[in-house]
Chain A
């Protein structure tokens, strides 16, 4: 049967090549579409729980002034003052500077719950959510892969007390294009979840706030702090809380403003790109149906001859299936080669990833194509008697 499918493919090489090309276009388009949607969803998902909650995104400047009095707050201060807060996710600035440098303002920390919310793309090692809170050794994640490797020990001094030095072990290195959460510079122009992330353009160091606190190094709230409220607050309690949070920084509503904007941004992709991809897929399906129908009808005599020699409909279907498998493989190879050759130009204009979801969607398309190559011949062969075909 492999021989017969090969001969059929050879006989209809031009048509099958056309079908394979169409399939490859559909696959590439689907990968781009799914990658685009998934990249939006992937960045939204870590924040979904927070953005769906009642609460505020508070941009905490390093120092706050109330009536000309300078204040700096800790999370404990806020939690003690506001009993209706459920949880606070926060980032910090840390006064650690690599020894022998003057790289101030490049050390940050995250609370454990903030570190667990989102893991940036790692080149090597692990993120801060895996840091050992009981460790006596300070652990650090670095953004620079050129100068550091996993296990390296970096010496830091404390900006607030230069005589105090600390050794930190590198447990992770961020990927070059990694984004981090919650260290965006302000609350201006923050519309949706995308604005919560930031690419670190220079060498940065990230610590666990638990370890920093344990070693009494010093922390200052910085960046975007997510404050979620307890459930079932009445209107009056909500109003008080919303008002009080302005003491700590400028803020935006989580579930109303930011969440709505975030969902609209994701829907944009689905509404715009997905229908185009579906249309292309529809055209591919129609082409496959037409090509397989024409091929089957032209080869009815071939199938009839096989039939009188002892083949069943099942054998004929398997021959078609093998033909389709070959065409699908050619389509996949064309798609892969095209993407590899044009990866740089494609990735500058589109997001292209190849994860489980993309593989799953592409597999569905290929399987659907192959099923059509089985169902249509089966329908055609079922309707035609061998004698009728042989008489023609």
Chain B
């Protein structure tokens, strides 16, 4: 269960170019939901997603994930949440291009605080679940866009997080590949994963259980 209570995000606070990106944003995301956050460019969708992903901070309000208040934590605590509770999928895939698909998927396992046996097997299982087990040893700079995004999704799920956050996951893909990726997300959602997708594409948004529309840093619906 994820709760956002009156989140305020200000860029460059107390400076001449101070900008309030989020204005008292509140919402709840239940376990197992597939949510789309939609809005125009600059509306604050990615800002909200980055706060959910614990890669950006906020000035006011509360962000609670699984009854843990995520505020003013140490770097180690944030890193632990990112590693254990969240899987991140980015528009430009955010892969280490020189690494193979398998090496990329193993990154969260290598930084887990828990002792994990059979890291390689777990990573291969994640690649299999996204249908590209045979590409495990291929360097990512040799993969297509769709294949790269599948690797990114495999990396996002390998540590079995409760929530997957995707920032414009189909933004760099063609329509056919976009459909395949969305099918993958729907499949993961059916298996109980909470999925939050930021998109400006209504077609993508309509495939989700619920749509949160954001405009000028405020939630409209």
Contact = CB atoms under 8 A, between A and B. Distances in A.
Contacts, number: 59
Interface string B150-163: 00000100010000
Contact of A302 (B75, B84, B96, B111): B96
A312 interface: yes
A311 B111 contact: yes
Interface on chain A toward B: helix, strand, loop, or mixed SS? helix
A313 interface: yes
Nearest to B74: A312
A314 B94 CA distance: 21
Contacts of A310: 79-80, 82-84, 108, 111-112, 159
B165 to A, nearest CB: 10
Contacts of B31: none
A304 B90 CA distance: 12
Contacts of B88: 308-309
B94 A312 contact: no
A309 B82 contact: yes
B201 interface: no
A294 interface: no
Given A302-B96, A310-B79, A310-B84, A387 B111 contact: no
Contacts of A315: 111
B19 interface: no
Nearest to B80: A310
Contact of A390 (B94, B112, B159): B94
A308 B53 contact: yes
Contacts of B98: 7, 11
Interface in A1-50: 1, 3, 7, 11
A309 B99 contact: no
Contacts of B79: 307, 310-312
A386 interface: yes
A311 B82 CA distance: 9
Contacts of A312: 75-76, 79
Given A308-B94, A312-B76, A386 B83 contact: no
Interface of B: 50, 53, 55-56, 75-76, 79-80, 82-84, 88, 90, 92, 94-96, 98-99, 107-108, 110-112, 155, 159
Interface of A: 1, 3, 7, 11, 301-302, 304-315, 385-387, 390
Given A306-B107, A309-B107, 10 more contacts: A1-B110, A11-B98, A301-B94, A308-B82, A308-B88, A309-B155, A310-B80, A310-B83, A312-B75, A313-B75
